[in-house]
Amino acid sequence: MVNLEKSALNAEAFLVSAGLGRRVIELAPGESFYSQGDPSDSIFYLQKGRAKITVVSQAGKEATITLVSAGDFVGESALAAVPGLRLSRASAVTSCTALKIAREEMVRVMHEQQDVSDLFVKFLLTRSMRMQADLVDQLFNSSEKRLARILLLMAEFGQPGEPETLLPSISQETLADMIGTTRSRVSFFMNRFRKLGFIDYDGRIQVHKSLLNVVLFDQLPGQNAQKPVIPSFPRIKQAQRSAIRRLRK
């Protein structure tokens, strides 16, 4: 019988300490884990801090794909069967501590330690579900609702433990990239959220639980008053009878 508690401790011990083929690194905000086009020869386990994944087009336009936080892997594509070059850039949003693991060492450990393999597969499944949710969000939700969702995800609402309502410093340009709209629209929505009491911000954004109403109920104050009144069935029947009488005359 597998001792789950012992397995968890084994995985944690591997991911928090330096050793053969792995070392702990410290990054200041703005510093890169790796750049687009670098050899994909290592994977990172984020122990502390927040980071973002970005891509740059041939025209030089940068777009933010996603944000990652403590407990996430960064650069997991290095474990592909045929490693190549990095397709994106990972950089620190806040001060970060991470374990840099050589590709060969990570592959070896995953084959030899079931607990590490299980943890990594769980991360991949969670990342896949998040990407699907992001795609649905982009296809079907308004930019205002997409912004509310991103702010809630950054505050880690719905995750175990207390949410981190005070977000790390992030620009409106980055938020605009993530939800697929313009900076001016983000500024408009942010001001609206603040007036409604959903957020506070003075340099850093503080998210309140009431912002969940935008995502869960797709409703903002005052929206009901804008909806047209649907006539009741008795009124419709009366209108039909009046029309028939006029035709008979």
Determine how β-strand 32-34 pairs with β-strand 89-92: antiparallel
Query: What is the pLDDT averaged over residues 68-80?
Result: 92
State the Cα–Cα distance between residues 128 and 133, nearest whole angstrom.
Answer: 9
What pLDDT, on a 0 to 100 scale, did the predictor assign at position 246? Answer: 58
Distance of CA 15 to the CA centre of its chain: 23
pLDDT for 206-227, tens place per residue? 999 889 888 777 656 555 433 4
| pTM (predicted TM-score) | 0.74
Position 155 pLDDT exceeds 50: yes
What pLDDT, on a 0 to 100 scale, did the predictor assign at position 54? Answer: 93
What pLDDT, on a 0 to 100 scale, did the predictor assign at position 212? Answer: 87
Architecture of domain 4-140: Sandwich (2.60)
20-33: burial string, b at 16+ Cβ within 10 Å, e else: eebeeeebeeeeeb
CATH 1.10.10.10 fits 143-226, yes or no: yes
Whether 143-226 and 4-140 are alike in CATH topology: the answer is no
Determine how β-strand 50-56 pairs with β-strand 89-92: antiparallel
pLDDT for 124-151, tens place per residue? 999 999 889 888 888 888 999 999 999 9
Which is more confident, 228 or 107?
107
The full set of domain ranges for the chain reads 4-140, 143-226
